[in-house]
Amino acid sequence: MTRVIFRFLDKPSQNKQYDEQHTEQYKGLNLLAHAQIIERSLQSRCGGQNACGTCRVRVVTGTVSAMNSEERALLEKLGGQNVHRLACQCFPEGVDEVIVEVPQERFKDARHTKE
């Protein structure tokens, strides 16, 4: 079974303590949408328009879409082009698992806010 695994880091990444959740790999959905499926909203100030950089994540393993020139330009501006991807521009591809790390400041847990 192909999955997208999110590791939501509870502490700064050097400590590597995280809460892990996964979704099935839905063709055509970017990582931002995958996170919404498991009710963990990633920061996305521009609404997924490749303009804010608040959705930056780290793809640890797995095959994902190639970085386009607009994404690369924004990440270069933000200083994270070598380790980060924009979740709104990054699509899982292939059949292998995709593991994604999300720092605490970049996600909101919506699982416990429903009535």
Q: Which residues bind ligand FES (CB under 6 A)?
A: 44-46, 48-55, 86, 88
Least Cβ distance, residue 103 to ligand FES (angstroms):
15
User: Tokens representing 2?
Assistant: 């192909």
Nearer to ligand FES, 46 or 99 (CB): 46
User: Tokens representing 16?
Assistant: 């590597």
Nearest-CA neighbor of 4 among 86, 94, 66, 104?
94
Nearer to ligand FES, 18 or 80 (CB): 80
Least Cβ distance, residue 7 to ligand FES (angstroms):
19
Least Cβ distance, residue 17 to ligand FES (angstroms):
25
Nearer to ligand FES, 1 or 66 (CB): 66
Least Cβ distance, residue 70 to ligand FES (angstroms):
9
Q: Which residue is nearest to ligand FES (CB)?
A: 88
Nearest-CA neighbor of 31 among 56, 66, 52?
56
Nearest-CA neighbor of 7 among 96, 74, 83, 98?
98
Contacts of 62 (CB under 8 A, 6+ apart): 4, 92, 94, 96, 97, 98, 99
Nearer to ligand FES, 48 or 80 (CB): 48
